[in-house]
Structure 1
Amino acid sequence: MSFTKLERHVKELEDYCAESGHRVLSMYLNTEPDRNRPQSWKIKFKSGMKRLREYAEAEGGEEQVQMFDNLRPSVERAVEEMRGDLKKGLLLFACSSGQFTVVETVQVPTPDAFYWEDRPHMQELQEMLKSYPPAGLVQAGSEGVSVISTSLGEIVDEWHYEWDLQQDRWRQKKGLGHAGILASSANHRDQYDKKLDVNRQRWLKDFVPVLESHNRKQKWEEIILTGETDVTNDLDEMLNTKSRQRIIPKNFNGMPSAQLLQEVQSNLR
C-alpha cells in the first residue's frame, strides 16, 4: 500500500472514532526476522498490549479498560492473520469500537511503540516517511528506460519503455518486467548502436514529459537516476521538477525491479 492510501485510511479511522467518542490504539512493531530469536516480535507484542491496558486503567479507569478489553481480541486476530506476510515492520491502527482497523506490513525498519489515545499517533510513520519518501527510480539506458514508483521502501507501480525504431517514438512495454527489456531489444542492438549517438538527445527530450507526468501523478519527493552515465547525466539536466534529483553512478540494467530497489537503498545508506 502506498503512503497516500495508508494515510487516507488512517484519516477515515480518525474521523470515525472522533464522531463515536472512541479511543484509538496505534501500534508500531518491529517484525524483522531475528535468526537468534525468531519469535521475539510476539513477546514485544504481548508486552506492549499489557502496558497499554495498564495505561488505559491509569488514565480512564474501568470505562477505558472495558474499551481496551473489548478491542483486544480483534487486534490479536488481525496480527495473527498477518503472521505469514510479515516483513520488517507491522503498523496497526484500531478504533476501540472494534469496527475500524487499519493494518499494514512495511519493508523498512520500524520502531516498537504502542499508544492508546483519542486519535491515531502518526509521529513514527512520519519519521519513517522522511527516511523512505515517495520516490521514482529511473533505470535509463540505450535499450530503454524503466520507471519504478516506490513508497516506504516498496514498489507501488512500475512502467517500462523502449524506443520504437519503426514509429520513431517511445513505446511502453506491456507485461515485461525490468529484466526483460534488455532481452526483448537485443535483436535491435545494431540499429540502436548506429542511431544512439545521433539521436540520444532527441530521444531523451521526448521521454522527459513521460517521466514528469509520472512524477506529478505519483507525487514523488525525489527522483533517483541510475544507468548509463551519459544518459543519466542528460536526463538529470533536462528534467524540470520540484522533486529532489540525484544520480547513483551505477548501471543496474537487466536487474529485476525488486533487486534494483534493494541495490538503490543500499547505495543511499
Structure 2
Amino acid sequence: MDINKKLKELENVRMEGNNKVFTMYLNTDPADPDQQGGEWKIHFKNGMRNFEKYLEEANDKEELKNFQLVKKNVEKYMKENEQQQLKGIIVFATADEVVWYADMVQMRLENEFYWQETPELNQFRKLKDTYPKTGIILVQQNEIKVIESYLNQLEDTLSYELDVEEETWRVMQGPRKGNSATGMGSTNLQKDNFEARYEANQQRWYKSIAPKLDKQAKEKKWEKIFVVGEAASSKELEKQMNKTVNEVIQKNMLDHEESKVMKEVLG
C-alpha cells in the first residue's frame, strides 16, 4: 500500500448530509498490558454502540441506517482478521463504500472513533511519518544484510557476502550460513590472516559495495537509512555511501531475526 497516495485521497473526502465517514483507530497490541484480556473487543463494541445509541436518540433513521451498514462491514472485517491481529487497526468507511479502507498496522494506536463529514487523519499521518520506507543495512566485516521496512512491517531482505579472493560482493542465495572469515572463496584463510587483510582493505571493499546500496535506496525510494554494525564497519560503510544515512547504530545485529532488528532500530 502506498500510504502517501491513500492519505491524499482521504484528505479530499468530504461527505454531506446523513452519509458520513466512519473513522476507527483501535489498539490491539498484545504486548500492551491493558490488552491482555482482549479488551480491544470491548472498546470496539462500546465505540460502535455509542454511535448507534446517539443516532437512535436523534431519531435520524436514514443516518442510523447508513451507520449500521458501515458497522456490518467493519464487524465482518474484524471477524475475518481476528487471528491475524498486529498492534492496531485503522478503518475509514462510508455506507456506500465510496470510502473503504481497513488495515492492520504495526503501530500502537489510541482508541478513537469518529462519525463525521471528513475522515480523522491524525494517527494515520503519524503512522506515515513514524514508519516511512526504510532501509536497515547490517554490516559485519565481509557480510552485509539489507532489511527493507515500510510502516514498521518487513518488506524484503537481501544479503551480500564478499568473495575475499576475487574481492567481489555476491548476493547470497538460500539460507545464510554461519559467519566465516573466508567469505565465499574456496580458500581456508586463518582468522588472523583475514583480520589483517580486512584492516588493510575495508575502505576499498566497502567502496565497491556502496553503489549497489545507493542504487537500492533510490529504486526502493527509502526515506530513511540506518547502518548497523560494529564501529569500524558501520562508520566506514556510511562514509562510502552517497545516500544520507539517518543514523549509525554501533551494534552487531547481523545474526538477529529481522523482527528483533526492526524493534531495536525503529522502536
Please classify the TM superposition score into its range, dividing by the shorter chain length.
0.7 to 0.9
Alpha-carbon separation, structure 1, partners of 2:14 and 2:73: 16
Secondary structure at 1:182 match in 2: coil
Q: Which residue pairs with 1:27 in the alignment?
A: 24
Matched, 1:203 2:205: yes
Contact 1:204 1:235 (8 Å CA) reproduced: yes
Alpha-carbon separation, structure 2, partners of 1:50 and 1:169: 63
Contact 2:22 2:116 (8 Å CA) reproduced: yes
Give the superposition deviation at 1:145.
0.5
Q: Which residue pairs with 2:253 in the alignment?
A: 252
| Distance 1:22-1:11 versus aligned 2 partners, 3 A rule | farther
Secondary structure at 2:246 match in 1: strand
Q: Which residue pairs with 1:220 in the alignment?
A: 222
Which amino acid letter does the alignment assign opposite residue 80 of structure 1?
Answer: K
Secondary structure at 2:226 match in 1: strand
Alpha-carbon separation, structure 1, partners of 2:19 and 2:60: 15
| Distance 1:120-1:214 versus aligned 2 partners, 3 A rule | farther
Contact 2:182 2:194 (8 Å CA) reproduced: no
Give the superposition deviation at 1:255.
1.5
Secondary structure at 1:87 match in 2: coil
Give the superposition deviation at 1:175.
3.1
Q: Which residue pairs with 2:135 in the alignment?
A: 136
Identical amino acids, percent of aligned pairs? 27
| Distance 1:128-1:13 versus aligned 2 partners, 3 A rule | closer
Contact 1:27 1:115 (8 Å CA) reproduced: yes
Secondary structure at 1:240 match in 2: coil
Q: Which residue pairs with 1:78 in the alignment?
A: 77
Give the superposition deviation at 1:119.
3.9
Which amino acid letter does the alignment assign opposite residue 125 of structure 2?
Answer: Q
Which of the pair is proportionally richer in helix?
Answer: 1
Which amino acid letter does the alignment assign opposite residue 47 of structure 2?
Answer: G
In the alignment, structure 1 segments of 5+ residues that lack a partner are: none
Which amino acid letter does the alignment assign opposite residue 231 of structure 2?
Answer: T
Which amino acid letter does the alignment assign opposite residue 142 of structure 1?
Answer: Q
Matched, 1:38 2:47: no
Q: Which residue pairs with 1:163 in the alignment?
A: 162
| Distance 1:184-1:102 versus aligned 2 partners, 3 A rule | farther
| Distance 1:187-1:205 versus aligned 2 partners, 3 A rule | closer
Give the superposition deviation at 1:54.
5.1
Give runs of aligned pairs for residues 1-269 of structure 1, distance below 5 A. Answer: 4-9=1-6, 22-33=19-30, 37-53=36-52, 61-98=60-97, 101-165=100-164, 167-176=166-175, 180=177, 182=179, 190=189, 192-193=194-195, 195-241=197-243, 243=244, 245-266=246-267
Give the superposition deviation at 1:67.
1.0
Which amino acid letter does the alignment assign opposite residue 169 of structure 1?
Answer: T
Alpha-carbon separation, structure 2, partners of 1:125 and 1:73: 23
Alpha-carbon separation, structure 1, partners of 2:125 and 2:234: 30
Alpha-carbon separation, structure 1, partners of 2:240 and 2:184: 29
| Distance 1:212-1:52 versus aligned 2 partners, 3 A rule | farther
Q: Which moved more, 1:138-147 or 1:231-240?
A: 231-240
In the alignment, structure 2 segments of 5+ residues that lack a partner are: none
Q: CA offsets per residue over residues 115-173 of structure 1, 9 Å max, x none?
A: 22344332111123333333211110113111111122221221111113454322112
| Distance 1:194-1:90 versus aligned 2 partners, 3 A rule | same
Q: CA offsets per residue over residues 160-193 of structure 1, 9 Å max, x none?
A: 11113454322112333xx646269667573754
Which amino acid letter does the alignment assign opposite residue 135 of structure 1?
Answer: T
Contact 2:163 2:183 (8 Å CA) reproduced: no
Alpha-carbon separation, structure 2, partners of 1:66 and 1:232: 59
Which amino acid letter does the alignment assign opposite residue 237 of structure 1?
Answer: K
Which amino acid letter does the alignment assign opposite residue 96 of structure 1?
Answer: A
Alpha-carbon separation, structure 1, partners of 2:119 and 2:54: 16
Alpha-carbon separation, structure 2, partners of 1:55 and 1:232: 58
| Distance 1:210-1:54 versus aligned 2 partners, 3 A rule | farther
Q: How many residues align?
A: 259
Give the superposition deviation at 1:38.
1.5
Contact 2:162 2:183 (8 Å CA) reproduced: no
Give the superposition deviation at 1:15.
7.3
Which amino acid letter does the alignment assign opposite residue 79 of structure 1?
Answer: M
| Distance 1:59-1:181 versus aligned 2 partners, 3 A rule | farther
